[in-house]
C-alpha cells in the first residue's frame, strides 16, 4: 500500500509529457488516481496492459480472480468498505460480458467502479472478429457512463473522466473499452485529473428554503419517522444523521443498504423496513404523520404496494439524485443535495424534542415480533439449528465490529435483521439487483480494503456455488476471509415462496450439495462442519480467532422461513408474522 505522499508525487510526475504506449499510459493514469489494487483476468485484447502492469507490480497489486464476475464483485466489496473507486479489468468478448452482472449490481446499488476492457483492433470493429462484442452497447443500460477509445491519445482524458464520474455525486460504475491498437500506439502522455464535465452537475445546490420548510414540518409533527438509506453512508453523513435523530427524538428505521450508518443498539434505531424488515417500522409507516426519507429511493421491497404506502403522511425526501424525487412516492418537500450538507443545514433549525408515546408504539410492536418471531429465531426450542442463532453467535465473538458480507436469500435477510452493526460500512450486500454469488468475491475485496477489520461472509448453499471458484483467489492471495455457509439444502427464499404461495410445490429448489468442507480443504483453507447446536459456539470462536481464512459450514433446518414478510403487492401494514 502506498502512502499519500507517494501517490501525490506520482500524480505530479504525470503532468510532465513523456512518450509512452497507450498501455503504459493506462497504468500511469491509475497511479495518478491513487489505485493500488485492481481485480481482473487477462486475455488477448488486454494483454499489452497486463505486460505493462507486470513492470509496475510493486506499485499496483493485481488480484487474479477466477472469473471476471468475481473481479467485478471484488471491486465492489473494495469500494463499499473503503469509499474509494473499485477497479476491475478484463479482456474483450466473454471477458467483458462476464463483468456485466457486477456492473449492473454496482449501478443499482450506487457503487463507484471503473471497469477497463480490452477490445479488438479498431480496424476489426464491426467485423465479428474473434472475441469481439459491442461491450459499450451492452453495458450502456447498466453504467453511469461508458466510452470506447480507439486512439492512444484519448486514453488519459477517458480514464480521468471515468474516475470523476464514478465517484462524484451519486456514485456508479463506468466502463472504458480500449482497442488493442490504442494500447500499442505511442503518444506524448500527460495526465490531468478531471474536475468537471460539461452539463453534468453531480451535486445539486441545496435549497435553503426547502430545508427551512422541512424543519417546520418536522418540528410540528406528532408522529414523525425517519427512513434512511445508503445515501447517508455514501454522503459520509452518519454523524449528522445521528445528531438529527437525537435532537428531534425521532424513531428511525433503515433500508438494508443503509444498515450500520447508526449503530443497531441506538435507542432510536427501530429496525429495518421492507419485505423482511421489522414489524414495527413497517406497520407504523402507515401511521406516521411525517415521513422523512434520507438517501433512499423508495424501492418496491421497501414500500410494498405504492397505492397504500404512507398515504396519511407528509413526505420529506432528502436526496442527491433529482431523478428519484417523486419517481415512486410523491413528496411534500424535496431537499436536493449531499446528505451531509443537507442534514448539517437542517440540524440547527430543529427543536429539541422527544416523542416518547410514539416511540412506545414501536416498542410495543417489537415486543409482539419478539414473542412470535425473534425469540424462536435466536433461542430456538426446536432441535434444528436456525440461521438466526448462527448470526447471534457471530455477534458474540465479533462484538458487533465485523463487516458482514452477505449473499442473497434467506440468510441475507437473517444477517441484516440480526447482525449487530457498531461501525458504519459494516453491511455489504447485493441490494437492488439481488445477485447470488456476490458475497464470496465481495468479501475478498472488502478484506483487502480493510485488512484491520474482521470480514465475515454469510452465504447460502445455493449462492456459494455460483462463485465457489473464488476460493482459489482467497488461497492464492492469502486473504483471511471468514466464510460461513448456512446450508439448508434448498434455494431457501424461493422454497419459502413456493411453500406459502404455490402449495408447497418445490419445483427445482432442492439442492443435492457436494462436500463443501472437502472443497474448501482442496483449496488449502481450514474448514469445519457443524450439525449440532452444542458444536456451534466452539466452531464460531475457532473461526473468528483464526489468523487465516476459514470455512465454516452450518447445517440449518431445511424448511425454516424468514418472518416478518410482506407478500408481493401487499401493504406494509399487512406484514405477516407467520
Active site residue 180: yes
Decide if pLDDT at 130 tops 80: yes
* Cα pseudo-dihedral 471, 474, 480, 481, rounded to 10: -50
How much is the CA Rg of the chain, to the nearest whole Å? 24
| Closest-CA residue to 89 (of 41, 142, 140, 30) | 41
What is the distance between the alpha carbons of residues 98 and 41, in angstroms, rounded to a whole number? 10
Whether 493 is catalytic = yes
- Among candidate residues 131, 154, 287, 469, the one labeled active-site is 131
Using CA atoms, how far apart are residues 445 and 470, in angstroms rounded to an integer?
11
Question: Which position among 15, 130, 192, 521 bears the catalytic label?
Answer: 130
Which is nearest to 94 in space by CA: 39, 136, 132, 42?
Answer: 132
Tell whether the model's pLDDT for residue 6 goes beyond 70.
no
Which grid coordinates are listed for 88?
Answer: 476491475
Over range 542-570, report the average pLDDT: 97
Mean pLDDT of the 377-395 span: 95
What are the two backbone dihedrals, phi and then psi, of residue 183, each rounded to the nearest 5 degrees?
Answer: -70, -30
DSSP type of residue 479: -
| Maximum pairwise Cα distance, the chain | 72
pLDDT band (50, 70, 90) for residue 33: very high
C-alpha cell at 436: 447470488
Q: Residue 533: how many CB atoms within 10 A of its CB?
A: 13
| Active-site pick, 167, 180, 340, 425 | 180
Exposed, middle or buried by CB within 10 Å (0-12, 13-18, 19+), for 578? exposed
Give the number of other CB atoms < 10 A from CB of residue 503: 7
Q: Which of 33, 52, 68, 470 is catalytic?
A: 68
172: its cell numbers: 456508479
Closest among 177, 101, 172 to 143, alpha carbons compared: 172
* pLDDT, position 15: 60
Active site residue 477: no
- Length, in residues, of the chain: 578
Answer whether residue 9 shows pLDDT above 50: no
Q: Given this model, what pLDDT does residue 382 score?
A: 85
- Kindly list the structural domains of the chain, giving each domain's residue range(s) and its CATH number in brackets, ordered by start: 3-197 (3.40.50.970), 208-362 (3.40.50.1220), 383-555 (3.40.50.970)
Here the cell at position 477 is: 492471495
Res 12 pLDDT > 60: no
For every residue of 132-187, DSSP letters joined together read ---HHHHHGGG-SEEEEE-SGGGHHHHHHHHHHHHHSSS--EEEEEEEHHHHH-EE
Q: Count other Cβ atoms within 10 Å, centred on residue 191.
A: 22
Q: Of all helices (H) and strands (E), which one includes residue 296?
A: none
Of the chain, the percentage scoring pLDDT greater than 70 comes to 97
* DSSP character string of 435-466: -TT-HHHHHHHHHHH-TTS-EEEEEEHHHHTT
Residues 191-250: tens digit of each pLDDT: 999 999 999 999 999 999 999 999 999 999 999 999 999 999 999 999 999 999 999 999
Contact 240, 262 (CB under 8 A): no
490 is catalytic: no
Q: How far is CA 556 from CA 214, 373, 492, in A?
A: 47, 17, 11
1 flagged as catalytic:
no
Please provide the average confidence, as pLDDT, over all residues in the chain.
96
Residue burial 7-38, b: 16+ Cβ < 10 Å; e: rest: beebbeebeeeeebbbbbbbbbbbbbbbbbbb
pLDDT tens for each residue of 405-459: 999 999 999 999 999 999 999 999 999 999 999 999 999 999 999 999 999 999 9
Cell of 232: 447517508
Within 458-569, residue ranges assigned H as helices are: 461-464, 471-477, 492-501, 516-522, 533-545
**Is the model's pLDDT at 13 over the cut of 80?**
no
User: Could you read off the pLDDT of 177-187 as tens digits, one per residue?
Assistant: 999 999 999 99
What tens digit of pLDDT does each residue of 461-509 get?
999 999 999 999 999 999 999 999 999 999 999 999 999 999 999 999 9
Instruction: Report DSSP letters for 358-391, one per residue.
Output: HHHHHHHHHHHHIIIIIHHHHS-SSSS--HHHHH
Distances (CA, A) of 284 to 28, 297, 311, 560: 54, 19, 12, 27
| Active-site annotation holder among 89, 413, 493, 565 | 493
Question: Averaged over 1-14, what is the pLDDT?
Answer: 43
> Does residue 76 sit in helix, strand or coil?
helix
Give, in degrees to the nearest 5, the angle at Cα 468 between 462 and 378: 50
Q: What is the pTM of this model?
A: 0.95
156-192 pLDDT tens trace: 999 999 999 999 999 999 999 999 999 999 999 999 9
Amino acid at each position: 500500500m502506498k502512502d499519500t505522499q507517494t501517490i501525490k508525487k506520482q500524480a505530479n510526475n504525470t503532468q510532465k509529457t513523456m512518450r509512452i504506449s497507450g498501455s503504459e499510459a493506462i497504468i500511469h493514469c491509475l497511479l495518478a488516481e491513487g489505485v493500488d489494487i485492481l481485480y481482473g483476468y487477462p486475455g488477448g485484447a488486454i494483454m499489452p496492459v497486463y505486460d505493462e502492469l507486470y513492470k509496475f507490480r510493486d506499485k499496483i497489486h493485481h488480484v487474479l480472480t477466477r472469473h471476471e464476475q468475481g473481479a467485478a464483485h471484488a471491486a465492489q466489496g473494495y469500494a463499499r468498505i473503503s469509499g474509494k473507486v473499485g477497479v476491475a479489468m478484463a479482456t474483450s468478448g466473454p471477458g467483458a460480458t462476464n463483468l456485466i452482472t457486477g456492473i449492473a449490481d454496482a449501478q443499482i446499488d450506487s457503487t463507484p467502479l471503473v471497469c477497463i476492457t480490452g477490445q479488438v483492433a479498431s480496424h476489426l470493429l464491426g467485423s465479428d472478429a474473434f472475441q469481439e462484442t459491442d461491450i459499450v452497447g451492452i453495458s450502456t443500460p447498466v453504467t453511469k457512463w461508458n466510452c470506447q477509445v480507439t486512439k492512444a491519445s484519448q486514453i488519459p482524458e477517458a480514464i480521468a473522466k471515468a474516475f470523476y464520474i464514478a465517484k462524484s455525486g451519486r456514485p456508479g460504475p463506468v466502463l472504458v473499452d480500449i482497442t488493442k491498437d490504442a494500447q500499442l500506439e505511442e503518444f506524448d502522455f500527460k495526465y490531468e485529473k478531471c474536475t468537471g464535465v460539461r452539463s453534468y452537475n453531480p451535486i445539486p445546490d441545496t435549497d435553503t428554503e426547502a430545508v427551512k420548510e422541512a424543519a417546520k414540518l418536522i418540528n410540528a409533527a406528532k408522529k414523525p419517522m425517519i427512513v434512511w438509506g445508503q445515501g447517508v453512508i455514501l454522503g459520509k453523513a452518519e454523524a449528522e444523521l445521528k445528531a438529527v435523530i437525537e435532537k428531534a427524538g425521532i424513531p428511525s428505521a433503515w433500508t438494508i443498504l443503509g444498515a450500520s450508518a447508526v449503530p443497531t443498539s441506538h435507542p432510536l434505531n427501530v429496525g429495518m423496513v421492507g419485505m423482511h424488515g421489522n414489524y414495527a417500522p413497517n406497520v407504523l409507516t402507515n401511521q406516521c404523520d411525517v415521513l422523512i426519507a434520507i438517501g433512499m429511493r423508495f424501492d418496491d421491497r421497501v414500500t410494498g404496494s405504492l397505492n397504500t404506502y404512507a398515504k396519511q403522511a407528509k413526505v420529506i425526501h432528502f436526496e442527491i439524485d433529482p431523478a428519484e424525487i417523486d419517481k415512486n412516492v410523491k413528496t411534500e418537500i424535496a431537499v436536493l443535495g449531499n446528505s451531509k450538507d443537507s442534514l448539517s443545514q437542517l440540524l440547527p433549525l430543529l427543536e429539541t424534542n422527544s416523542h416518547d408515546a410514539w416511540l412506545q408504539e414501536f416498542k410495543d410492536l417489537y415486543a409482539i415480533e419478539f414473542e412470535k418471531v425473534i425469540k424462536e429465531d435466536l433461542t430456538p426450542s426446536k432441535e434444528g439449528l436456525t440461521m438466526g442463532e448462527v448470526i447471534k453467535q457471530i455477534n458474540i465473538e465479533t462484538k458487533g465490529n465485523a463487516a458482514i458480507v452477505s449473499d442473497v436469500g434467506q440468510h441475507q435477510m437473517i444477517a441484516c435483521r440480526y447482525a449487530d452493526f457498531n461501525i458504519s460500512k459494516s453491511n455489504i450486500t447485493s441490494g437492488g439487483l439481488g445477485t447470488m454469488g456476490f458475497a464470496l468475491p465481495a468479501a475478498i475485496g472488502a478484506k483487502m480494503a480493510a485488512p484491520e477489520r474482521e470480514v465475515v461472509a454469510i452465504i447460502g448453499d445455493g449462492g456459494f456455488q455460483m462463485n465457489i471458484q473464488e476460493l482459489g483467489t482467497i488461497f492464492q492471495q492469502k486473504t483471511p476471509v471468514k466464510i460461513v455457509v448456512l446450508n439448508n439444502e434448498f434455494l431457501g427464499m424461493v422454497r419459502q415462496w413456493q411453500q406459502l404461495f404455490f402449495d408447497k410445490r418445490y419445483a427445482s429448489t432442492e439442492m443435492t450439495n457436494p462436500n463443501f468442507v472437502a472443497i474448501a480443504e482442496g483449496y488449502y483453507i481450514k474448514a469445519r462442519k457443524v450439525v449440532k447446536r452444542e458444536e456451534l459456539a466452539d466452531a464460531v470462536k475457532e473461526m473468528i480467532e483464526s489468523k487465516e481464512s476459514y470455512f465454516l459450514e452450518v447445517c440449518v433446518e431445511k424448511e425454516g422461513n424468514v418472518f416478518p414478510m410482506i407478500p408481493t403487492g401487499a401493504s406494509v401494514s399487512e406484514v405477516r408474522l407467520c
